[in-house]
Structures are given as structure tokens and as C-alpha cells.
Chains A and B, each alone.
Chain A
Amino acid sequence: MILHTVNKTGESLSRCLSLALQGDAVLLIEDGVYAAMDNTANRQTWEAIPSNLTCYVLVEDLAARGLSDKMLPQVTPANWTSFVSLTTEYDKVISWG
């Protein structure tokens, strides 16, 4: 199982989501956190993915962009310690940029 870090929205995220397998996890970091914002387009994105593909967002990057109170309920908050833990819990890390 793979942890996918995604640091941009758009093409990076859609390529990642098209290749991520069931049981993998996606961690949104840097500008990738915009995909965790509660809006229609993002809601559709996360509703379309398999239910056992977990999505996390780095809360420090979310806060840095003023989005802390605009997070989608489908996305799980993660801090720096959780980021490190996630890399140990999954077998490999793929970084999408």
C-alpha cells in the first residue's frame, strides 16, 4: 500500500487519483490542500473515489492558506507528526508534483 503526497491541485491530483489503488492513502500538502476546500468541484472529486482510499490534509498548510474552517468532511486532518507516521504505516511514498 502506498502513500501518495500531492502538492498541487489539477493535473497532479487527477493523475494521482486515477492511479491510486484501494487501500492507498492520499496526503494533500502545500498547494494541494486547496483540494480539501469545501466546494462543489472538490465534493464531486472526493465522492467519486473508492471509499477505502483515505484522504488526509496537512493542517499546517491548510492554516497557512486561511482554509482551516473550510475543510471537507471527507478529508482527515493530519499534522507534521501524522505525516511522518503515515510514511511509516504505508510501504512506499510517491510524491506527485
Chain B
Amino acid sequence: MKFTLVINGAPWSSPSAHTALKFAETALSSGHEIYRLFFYQDGVGNASRYCVVPQDEEDIPARWETLITTHGIDAVVCAASALKHGVLDTDESERYDKEGANLRSGFTVSGLGQFIDAATQSDRVVSFVN
């Protein structure tokens, strides 16, 4: 089956990002396909490469990046949420005259239209809420 996952939680504020990650890993290892990961609201925190996680804690953003790049998954970060939470790619950083860009590789910034597209193209949409 084709899945789209909506990730609403930041890795540091609720267990939902961990749940979504484990679900994604299990779905792929069970032979399913992930059409898109959509990082929304606080979930955009998963896409920041400026997060530094203590050594004895799970580095959820790094695990997302590994999963996304290994499997070539389309990982979209909501543009409005990303700007509000300070997650910027190079274009946005230049546009708003900020120093540095912190979007992790494998992620792209786009809009809710990508979520609507995913909802129509996937067999299942599973949301991981705060």
C-alpha cells in the first residue's frame, strides 16, 4: 500500500515524532511504499539540522534523514510552519535576509497543496498528532 504520513510533533516535545518514525520504518520493512512524509506545524522541527541531541538520547532528526535518503522518500516541510519555527532552506534564508540555512538534506520546503496531492494519491494517510 501507498502511505502518506503527517508528522505534527517536534522531536523534543512529544512522543509523536518517534511514533511516526517507527511507523515509517516498519511500513517500509513490511513492503509498503511511502508516497510522502508531510512535516506540519511543530513537526518541522524534525527537519532542522541545527538540533544537537545528547549522546544518550535518540537523534530523531538524523534518523529521519537516513530513512529519507536511503529510501529516496519525498519529505515535504510545510513552508509557513517552517518559517515560523526557524527552519529555512538556502532560498528562504536569502529571501528573509537571515544568516545560515538549517534544512536537513532530503527535505524540501513546499505548501499544503503537496498534502492535498498526497491525500489523493495515497491509499492511507496516517497523522501523528501531538
Interface set of A (CB-CB < 8 Å, partner B):
5, 7, 29-31, 60-61, 80-81, 83-85, 87-88, 92-93, 95-97
Q: A61-B15, A81-B26, A97-B129 are in contact. List 17 more A-B contacts (CB 8 A).
A: A30-B14, A30-B16, A31-B15, A60-B22, A80-B22, A83-B23, A83-B26, A84-B23, A84-B26, A84-B30, A85-B30, A87-B3, A88-B123, A92-B124, A93-B126, A93-B127, A95-B126
- A-B interface, 8 closest residue pairs, ranked by CB to CB distance from nearest: A97-B129, A80-B26, A95-B127, A30-B15, A95-B129, A93-B126, A84-B27, A84-B26
Q: How far is the CA of A84 from the CA of B1 in the complex (A)?
A: 10
Report whether A93 and B125 are in contact in the complex, using a CB–CB cutoff of 8 Å.
yes
Report whether A97 and B130 are in contact in the complex, using a CB–CB cutoff of 8 Å.
yes
Report whether B16 and A7 are in contact in the complex, using a CB–CB cutoff of 8 Å.
yes
Interface string of B111-130 (1 = CB under 8 A from A): 00000000000011111111
Report whether B124 and A87 are in contact in the complex, using a CB–CB cutoff of 8 Å.
yes
Chain B residues with Cβ below 8 Å from A84 are 23, 26-27, 30, 32
Question: Closest chain B residue to A82 by CB distance?
Answer: B26
Interface size class of B (residues with CB under 8 A): 20 to 34
Q: How far is the CA of A96 from the CA of B129 in the complex (A)?
A: 7
Question: Closest chain A residue to B1 by CB distance?
Answer: A88
Interface set of B (CB-CB < 8 Å, partner A):
1, 3, 8, 14-16, 19, 22-23, 25-27, 30, 32, 123-130
Shortest A32–chain B CB gap in Å is 10
Shortest A25–chain B CB gap in Å is 14
Chain A, interface SS category: helix
Shortest B32–chain A CB gap in Å is 7
17 CB contacts below 8 A, A to B, read A7-B15, A7-B16, A31-B15, A80-B26, A81-B26, A83-B26, A84-B23, A84-B26, A84-B27, A87-B3, A88-B1, A88-B124, A92-B124, A95-B126, A96-B129, A97-B8, A97-B130
Q: How far is the CA of A55 from the CA of B129 in the complex (A)?
A: 19
Chain A residues with Cβ below 8 Å from B3 are 87
Q: How far is the CA of A96 from the CA of B8 in the complex (A)?
A: 12
Q: How far is the CA of A85 from the CA of B25 in the complex (A)?
A: 13
